[in-house]
A = this chain, B = another copy of it.
Amino acid sequence: MSAPELDARTAAQLAFLVEADQLKSVERANPLIDGSRRENSAEHSWHVALMALVLAEKADPPVDVGRVLALCLLHDLVEIDAGDTVPWDVEGRATKADREAAAADRLFALLPPDQAVTFRRWWDEFEANETGEARLAHAVDRLSALIVNHASGGRLWREHGRTEAVARARNEQLGEWVGALHPLAQALLDDAAAEGWFADP
């Protein structure tokens, strides 16, 4: 890439946005619903933000939807350096926090200094998962895996021989984050169990 003539602020914003393009090449374990391929982290982030926009009304007390969308758009950006770490990668999970923090250090520093601080604060808010906005973002992120797996006929669960107990344990947290989303997660899991998409325990 050659260097267009820009003021320092705009040049920094452009550099960040060009770097961000790489999230389109980070492959996740989850499939597209039609089963044609696995999804990548950029299109997943779009789907999660759309889920937040549709399901924000379930948050109690109400949340700042604009900030939830910002958290959803940014939540996986660190995977450009750190990759997607799947739940069953025990070794990877031990180093996940450190690898992702290093990625956040590098990526957000591409922005102009004041935006680097703001964007990092949003990512830290998502990671800490203490505000209502972060909890909703976490809940729809978790829900997205459940929705695409259920709608694709339990593809990932069947491929990985996932047991019902493991899937349910993973989704109990979701109800702690946003109680009103628990019945949806529960209904999808009940249906998956009835369909026989889980492995024997």
Contact = CB atoms under 8 A, between A and B. Distances in A.
Nearest to A191: B4
A117 to B, nearest CB: 14
Interface string A41-69: 01101110111011100000000111101
Nearest to A77: B50
B25 A32 contact: yes
Contacts of A70: 53, 69
A181 to B, nearest CB: 9
A14 B46 contact: no
A89 interface: no
B195 A2 contact: yes
A187 interface: yes
A74 B51 CA distance: 12
In the complex, the count of this chain's copies comes to 2
9 A-B pairs with the lowest CB-CB distances in the bound complex, closest first: A66-B66, A4-B187, A46-B46, A42-B43, A4-B191, A43-B43, A21-B33, A69-B69, A24-B43
Interface in A1-60: 1-7, 10, 13-14, 16-18, 20-25, 32-34, 36, 39-40, 42-43, 45-47, 49-51, 53-55
A167 interface: no
Contact of A36 (B25, B148, B151, B194): B25
Contacts of A153: 1
A57 to B, nearest CB: 8
A22 B42 contact: no
Contact of A184 (B10, B34, B55, B190): B10
Contacts of A131: none
A54 B111 contact: yes
Contact of A66 (B17, B46, B69): B69
A10 B183 contact: yes
Contact of A150 (B1, B40, B73, B147): B1
A148 B21 contact: yes
